[in-house]
Chains A and B, each alone.
Chain A
Amino acid sequence: DQQVKQNSPSLSVQEGRISILNCDYTNSMFDYFLWYKKYPAEGPTFLISISSIKDKNEDGRFTVFLNKSAKHLSLHIVPSQPGDSAVYFCAASGTSYDKVIFGPGTSLSVIP
C-alpha cells in the first residue's frame, strides 16, 4: 500500500503557465516533505522541502503548499520553462522514521 501517492502519472503545460503537481499521503506521522526532480538516466536532485509546522515554502519559481488536514501537498512552478520537463517525485518522512518514502512520480512536459 503506497503511503505517498501521486495520482497523475503525467502533466503537460504550456511554457510560461503554471504547473501544479499534486501529492497525497496516508500516514499522519509524516512531518517532513520533499520534492525531487529527475531527468532521464540521471539521479534525482533535491528541489524543495517543507516541514509540517509550515503550510507554504517558496524558492524562486517553486512553491510547495501543505494541507495537513487533507494530507495533501502540491508543488507550483511559475512560470514553467522547457527545462522544467522532468519527473517529479514527492517524498515524505517523519521523526519516527529512518527513511524517506517516495511517491511514484509525475512526468511534467513543458511545451514551448
Chain B
Amino acid sequence: DGGITQSPKYLFRKEGQNVTLSCEQNLNHDAMYWYRQDPGQGLRLIYYSQIVNDFQKGDIAEGYSVSREKKESFPLTVTSAQKNPTAFYLCASSIGVETYGYTFGSGTRLTVV
C-alpha cells in the first residue's frame, strides 16, 4: 500500500535539544511538505520541496530545517531556536506542486518539556 509514514507518533524532548521528525513516502511524489497544526490556527506551512535537493521556506520556517536528499524522504529538524516547538506536525506529499490533492501522513505529536 502506498502512503506516507511519519515516525514516531509521539515524541518528547527536553528544551534546548534539536529533534528530527521522519517523513517517508512511497507514492513516487515529487513534492513534499511539512505543516504544523496548533489549536485554532489550522495548518501552517513550514517548508516544502518540489524536487530532490531543493526546498523552500513556508510561512513559519524560523527555527526549523529540512533536507531532501532522496525523493522518498523529507525529514524535519526542530532546532532549539524554535520558540514554541510543542505542536502536531504533519507531512504531506503531492505528485507536483501544481497538483492540489495532498496525501498526508498521520502526524507526529512533539512535546518539549
Contact = CB atoms under 8 A, between A and B. Distances in A.
A21 to B, nearest CB: 13
A20 B96 CA distance: 31
A105 B41 CA distance: 8
Contacts of B104: 36, 43-45
Interface residues of A, number: 22
B85 interface: no
A41 B109 contact: yes
28 contacts: A9-B40, A34-B100, A41-B88, A41-B106, A41-B107, A41-B109, A42-B106, A43-B6, A43-B90, A43-B92, A43-B105, A44-B90, A44-B102, A44-B104, A46-B101, A46-B103, A89-B42, A93-B100, A98-B48, A98-B98, A99-B45, A99-B48, A99-B58, A99-B97, A100-B100, A102-B43, A102-B44, A103-B42
